[in-house]
A = this chain, B = another copy of it.
Amino acid sequence: MTYTLLFICFGAVALGIIYIVHQFVRMKKQPVKDAKVIELQGYIKEGAMTFLRREYSIIVLFVIGLGILIATFLGAEPDAGLFAGSAIATAVSFIIGAVFAMCGGFIGMRAGVLANGPTAQAAKDKGMAAALKIAFSGGSISGLTLASIGLFGLTGLILFFTHVIYGTDQISLVISVVTGFSLGASFVALFARVGGGIYTKIADVGADLVGKVEAGIPEDDPRNPAVLADNVGDNVGDIAGLGADLYESYVSSIIAAVSLGALIPVAAMGLGGSEEYSVIARVLFPMLVSAGGILASVIAAISVQLGGGKDPAKALQRGLQVAALLTSVITLILSFVLFEAYQIQAFLAVFFGIAVGVGVGLITEYYTSDKYKHIQYVKKMSETGAATNIIGGFATGLFSAWPVALLMAIGIIAAALVGGDNNSMYFMALCSVGMLATLGMTVAIDSYGPISDNAGGLVEMSKMGDEVRAITDHLDAVGNTTAAIGKGFSVGSAAFTVVGLFATFVIRLRLLDGGAEILSHFTIYNPIVMAMALIGAGVPYLFSAFSIKSVGKAANEMVEEVRRQFRETPGLMEGEEGVKPDYKRCIDISTKAALRELVMPGLLAVIAPIAAGILFGFVGLAGLLLGTFVSGILLAFFMGNVGGVWDNAKKSFDPVKYKGTEIFNAAVIGDTVGDPLKDTAGPAIDILVKLMTILSVVFIPLFASIGDGMGLLGRFFF
């Protein structure tokens, strides 16, 4: 068995690309006849692409800066043992990782802004089944693009470095270098998620506060100047942002599993089978499982059809089930082919991950769907006003966080028990790979939502009529549920990924000169660990505070602009023929504000771990990471769910019957409060946790060079 078997991954990538091209070609052929739709679609596309271009130019600056840091500081330490001199290669990996992630976001968003018009047209001409097909197809382009380029990049870099640069026996060095790829993805994900999240909420809150509340015009009314910015926001936040988030988990979880597979034997922690053979199998397994996931996702995507039941939710659910089942079967085969020992265990670890992914979705749905008692309770609490509505939703959000954490913990413990003490870290990482293997399908379903939402907006603005709107509304409602589940899934998968990355961090430390000494201080009762864990636990609070405050501030700018246009543009409010609002100006406000506000959270994510590492060395850094991890994951679950609770409590009131009543207004207030929590802060926290961890892994050589890994202050203590 050799690493050349990785060429199999290229086969899966090729399959993914064939699927993507096929969908793109079909999509391009979809007729969009309505002139108004074509015009509006053009605005959305232009707005989204403008934002992406400007966002990327900021990211590029940061990437170049960090790339130089990596190339400069990571090769400085001669004692770094195995990893000395790999600085340039890591920097190259990092930049390639960032570029790939940006390409993935670009293609996904391109598909999104391409699919919304045809979806609207299909809803009018052919009905729900056709509209579902197109919207989902748009989402699946995003999903399979991310999975394909992720696997392509990793496979390509590993093969390049093993065969061209270092030779195959240097696999552990190669893996360390390739970790840079993951950092690149992480970096882009943070900006995409935070920037997109701020953008979409500025536009949303701005459009709602003036349009719906003050001016009393319906949602998606073309007279509202902020309405197109809102539609652009759906694309940049919910397609590009969520995609980048899950893509990052996908890449990082594979890297973690591959690293641990390669490094644990080097660190002499126990092996199954002959040593050489086992290392190769351990590296190949997660890669090939992911390749299998692409195959499964393509088949599942093709299988999504609106059957006789006419329920889009069921059709999507079935698609997910097909993907999960196929991946499980492929994993079972792979584990028996690749491993001499641990065959069933390897399968089980991946399977636990798939199962936890499904479980997280079910729990999220239980707490945030109006079919169950929790939303009914919040609904009832709305009767006594906004304060009780918010208290009730708050309590429900708090309730929902613990069960997910419990499920994640069970997953981690189960994988660790299967692996046994020595191999537990590798098996935990496999669990994470399993959860994310069906990335193509997961992202497809998540991206389907904003496309349907956009299509609904286009139907409304081009006045296609109530019947067509009913179809897109139905598709959109299903999208809201999948979006909530998608958020839970992304936090859950991030938690697993971080556990894997943290294990990688530890294993790499073990290989350093003096690593054993450093690790002997990694005890939970070390005062430095406890103190830094407290500080780390505060980082997600500070991070969310920045992003929530940003939305509040920038939404005010949007409100003033919309008010100004209504006031100063004659005939706009009356809907006179030929009078159009200045959409671009609103889009511009969102764009500028989002880009301005994402700098602080971005800096925090980078500075916190680097400062901790420099001041208190690996021990302090590990404490910080642990604190951020446990506090951040819970806060992310809470924020994501609490927003969904208020949102769905509001949606459970029929607007026709309740509009204008006290009880409905109370529910609307809760919904508005939840917006920045669920769409800006919550989903970004998990990226913060991931980015801080992967950054720590990559910067190990730097920290190793300061005070023997104990840091400027820490060395006085130990």
Given contacts A522-B524, A717-B421, contact A406 B535 (CB under 8 A): yes
Question: CB-CB < 8 A to A539: which residues of B?
Answer: 402
Between A and B, 15 residue pairs with Cβ closer than 8 Å are A385-B669, A386-B386, A392-B549, A394-B548, A402-B539, A409-B531, A409-B534, A417-B716, A502-B525, A522-B525, A524-B626, A530-B629, A534-B634, A537-B630, A538-B634
Contact A388 B522 (CB under 8 A): no
**Closest beta carbon of chain B to A152's beta carbon, Å:** 31
User: Which A residues have a C-beta under 8 Å from some C-beta of B?
Assistant: 209, 381, 384-388, 390-392, 394-396, 398-399, 401-402, 405-406, 408-410, 412-413, 415-417, 420-421, 424-425, 428, 495, 499, 502-503, 505-506, 519, 522-525, 527-539, 541-542, 544-545, 548-549, 551-552, 555-556, 559, 622-623, 626-627, 629-631, 633-634, 638, 668-669, 672-673, 676-677, 713, 716-718
- Among A421, A668, A676, residue most surrounded by chain B Cβ atoms (within 10 Å): A421
Contact B499 A391 (CB under 8 A): no
Question: CB-CB < 8 A to A538: which residues of B?
Answer: 401-402, 405-406, 634
Contact A541 B673 (CB under 8 A): no
Question: CB-CB < 8 A to A401: which residues of B?
Answer: 538, 541-542
**Closest beta carbon of chain B to A7's beta carbon, Å:** 33
Complex: how many Å from CA A325 to CA B503? 48
Question: CB-CB < 8 A to A396: which residues of B?
Answer: 545
Contact B409 A535 (CB under 8 A): yes
The listed residue (B417, B424, B559, B633) touching A534 by CB distance below 8 A is: B633
Question: CB-CB < 8 A to A385: which residues of B?
Answer: 209, 669
The listed residue (B405, B548, B668) touching A391 by CB distance below 8 A is: B548
Complex: how many Å from CA A638 to CA B538? 10
User: Is chain A's interface secondary structure helix, strand, loop, or mixed overall?
Assistant: helix
Contact A499 B524 (CB under 8 A): no
Contact B524 A524 (CB under 8 A): yes
Given contacts A524-B623, A542-B399, contact A537 B631 (CB under 8 A): yes
Question: CB-CB < 8 A to A677: which residues of B?
Answer: 394
Question: CB-CB < 8 A to A399: which residues of B?
Answer: 541-542, 545, 549
**Closest beta carbon of chain B to A686's beta carbon, Å:** 13
The listed residue (B505, B527, B533) touching A626 by CB distance below 8 A is: B533
Question: CB-CB < 8 A to A428: which residues of B?
Answer: 527
Complex: how many Å from CA A624 to CA B629? 14
Complex: how many Å from CA A38 to CA B532? 54
Complex: how many Å from CA A638 to CA B541? 9
Complex: how many Å from CA A435 to CA B399? 33
Contact A506 B527 (CB under 8 A): no
The listed residue (B424, B559, B622, B633) touching A527 by CB distance below 8 A is: B424
Complex: how many Å from CA A717 to CA B420? 6
Contact A545 B395 (CB under 8 A): yes
**Closest beta carbon of chain B to A616's beta carbon, Å:** 8
**Closest beta carbon of chain B to A415's beta carbon, Å:** 8
Complex: how many Å from CA A384 to CA B539? 29
Contact B531 A402 (CB under 8 A): no
* Apart from A388-B672, A402-B535: 15 A-B pairs, beta carbons within 8 A: A388-B555, A391-B673, A395-B548, A395-B549, A402-B539, A405-B537, A406-B535, A412-B531, A415-B527, A416-B527, A425-B527, A502-B525, A505-B525, A522-B525, A669-B669
Contact A381 B552 (CB under 8 A): yes
Complex: how many Å from CA A387 to CA B559? 14
